[in-house]
Structure 1
Amino acid sequence: MTRGPVDRFIDAIEMTAAVFLAVVTAITFVSVILRYIFAWQIPDSYDFGSLLLGILIFWGIAGASYRGEHITVDLLWSVAPPALKRAMDVFADLLTLACLGAFTWMMAVKVLSTLNDNVQTFDLRLPVWIFYFVAWIGLAAAILLLAVRTVRLLLRPDRAVRHANPQPLE
Structure 2
Amino acid sequence: MPLTHRFRRQHDEAVALATKIMSATQLLLETEDAAAAQAIEADFAQLDAVLRQHFAQEDRLLYPHLMASPDPTTAGTAKAFFDEMGGLAPTFHAFSARWIVLGAIAAQPHAFAEESAAIFATLAARIAHENEELYPLADWSSADEPESDAA
TM-score range, shorter-chain basis?
A: 0.3 to 0.5
Q: Larger C-alpha radius of gyration, 1 or 2? A: 1
TM-score, structure 2 length as denominator? 0.45
| Structure in which a larger fraction of residues adopt helix | 2
